[in-house]
Amino acid sequence: MLVELGPRSYVVQVVSGRQDSFAGFVRSALDATWAGRSCRRALLVTDRNVAPLEGPFRAALENLGIATSLSVLPPGESTKSLDCAADLFDELVRIRADRHTVVVALGGGVIGDLAGYVAASYARGLPLFMVPTTLLSQVDSSVGGKVGVNHPRAKNIIGAFHQPVGVWIDTESLKSLSDREYRCGLAEVIKYGVILDADFFAFLEQSVDAILAREPAALRHVVAHSCQLKADVVSKDEREETGLRAVLNFGHTVAHAIESVAGYGGRYHHGEAVAVGMVVESRLAENLGWIDSATTARVEALVERYGLPVSAPELDRDALIEAMTRDKKNQKGKIRFVLPRMIGQVELTDSASEADVREALRVA
């Protein structure tokens, strides 16, 4: 599928076990760009958990005449930091990277966000190629060009927009994920149904067993349709200037607060925080009179059926609300939320008072 952004358009390729096609896709993606056509050097960034998979990707790049250096980082959200970005900058300096050096991000969302931020910043922009290996990164963070790192007190607050030249998604990589990691990705999949596609939400309700069993056909549909929905939004509002792209943040105002209060890499993984956030924000919409209790119940029930948490009762509500005041969507000191009007339609608003938010968090 194509993410249509004029001269910065790129292809998202979804395959199952087609490693032999990777080199050709990379070459095609690079040749479509000014910087990529002259690419003879690459920095392949991954983490220790994914590093055993890097061999064929590095070999494919080398066979294209692209000398490839490897950086292996610790796994986990704490890696998405300025300190780790500095380490990658040091490596780019060491290999004498120039604006024709491609950064290849092999891994989950942390690696994609971090490597993407480094690619956006070094020499004012290097070509970036995404190879997401988790469900969460395949359906969400690898597409759209949002890259960044965390500040200790605010998630994703340091970053840029930097589109990749291509995205290679192989659903075979999902077989090795732990159940927890896999379910974290499903939170973002559920999000797409709530914000954009009521029929897709119904499909997720009807296909729980097949999706949890990781049946290949169900997986390809889930990944490809999620990517298509996101690509459509990004093509229309790349930099969140019209408000359309903000719909992708449903569940995330609360989620980012949960991650900040609980500690990055702590009790809640990102997808788990998003799951709780979707339930809380649905309840907030219900309390504002936007949706009925049956809609909130559908969201909560689907989250639970996919084995995700619906509450975080041990976290202090005052700390959560304070963390929300630092959310990058906020304007004029008001916390802004993306809330559902119905399944398949959401809206960005600052109409919720602190009392409303506190009440929605009361049973979270």
In this predicted structure, what is the pLDDT of residue 362? 83
Torsion of CA 118, 122, 124, 126, to 10 degrees: -70
Q: Which residues does 99 contact at the CB level (< 8 Å), separation at least 6?
A: 35, 123, 124, 125, 126
Q: Which of 256, 283, 298, 329 is catalytic?
A: 256
Lowest mean pLDDT among 85-89, 172-176, 202-206, 227-231: 172-176
Contact 54, 13 (CB under 8 A): no
Give per-residue pLDDT as tens, 264-316: 777 899 999 999 999 999 999 999 999 999 999 999 999 999 999 999 999 99
CATH (one of 1.25.50.10, 3.40.50.720, 1.20.1090.10, 3.65.10.10) for 179-361: 1.20.1090.10
151 is a catalytic site residue: no
- Mean pLDDT, the chain, whole residue set: 95
Calpha distance 317→100 (Å, rounded): 48
188 is in an annotated binding site: yes
> Could you tell me how far CA 35 lies from the centroid of its own chain?
25
Give per-residue pLDDT as tens, 39-80: 999 999 999 999 999 999 999 999 999 999 999 999 988 999
Comparing C-alpha atoms, which of 289, 318, 288, 286 is closest to residue 300? 286
Residue 249 parent element (H or E): none
111 is in an annotated binding site: yes
Confidence of residue 333 (pLDDT cuts 50, 70, 90): confident
Spell out the domain ranges in the chain: 2-176, 179-361
17 is in an annotated binding site: no
Top pLDDT among 62 and 157 is at 62
Sign of CA dihedral 180, 181, 183, 184: positive
Q: Which residues does 137 contact at the CB level (< 8 Å), separation at least 6?
A: 107, 108, 109, 111, 112, 185
188 is a catalytic site residue: yes
Calpha distance 5→235 (Å, rounded): 6
In this predicted structure, what is the pLDDT of residue 266? 77
End-to-end CA distance of the chain: 38
Residue 13: burial class (beta carbons within 10 Å; 0-12, 13-18, 19+): middle
DSSP label at residue 353: -
In this predicted structure, what is the pLDDT of residue 54? 97
Q: Which of 80, 100, 183, 230 is catalytic?
A: 230
Residue 363 clears pLDDT 70, i.e. is over it: no
Calpha distance 131→171 (Å, rounded): 11
Question: Read out DSSP for 265-308?
Answer: TSS--HHHHHHHHHHHHHHHHHHTTSS-HHHHHHHHHHHHHTT-
155 is in an annotated binding site: yes
Residue type, 34: W
3 is in an annotated binding site: no
Average pLDDT, stretch 169-194?
A: 95
State what percent of residues in the chain have pLDDT above 70. 99
Task: Give domain 2-176's CATH architecture.
Answer: 3-Layer(aba) Sandwich (3.40)
239 is a catalytic site residue: no
In this predicted structure, what is the pLDDT of residue 364? 60
Q: Which of 41, 58, 146, 298 is catalytic?
A: 146
Q: Which of 58, 191, 245, 298 is catalytic?
A: 245
- The yes-or-no answer to whether 2-176 and 179-361 have a common fold is no
113 is in an annotated binding site: yes
Question: Read out DSSP for 133-184?
Answer: -SHHIIIIITSS-EEEEEETTEEEEEEEE---SEEEEEGGGGGGS-HHHHHH
Q: Which of 41, 162, 191, 252 is catalytic?
A: 252
**144: its two tokens:** 């759209």
- Using left for φ > 0, alpha for ψ between -120 and 50, and beta otherwise, residue 149 falls in beta
240 is a catalytic site residue: yes
Q: Which of 188, 238, 272, 281 is catalytic?
A: 188
Residue 109 clears pLDDT 80, i.e. is over it: yes
> Could you tell me how far CA 69 lies from the centroid of its own chain?
25
Contact 147, 103 (CB under 8 A): no
269 is a catalytic site residue: no
162 is in an annotated binding site: no
110 is in an annotated binding site: yes
362 is a catalytic site residue: no
Give per-residue pLDDT as tens, 211-245: 999 998 999 999 999 999 999 999 999 998 888 99
Average pLDDT, stretch 315-335?
A: 89
148 is in an annotated binding site: no
In this predicted structure, what is the pLDDT of residue 305? 98
Q: Which of 183, 270, 298, 336 is catalytic?
A: 270
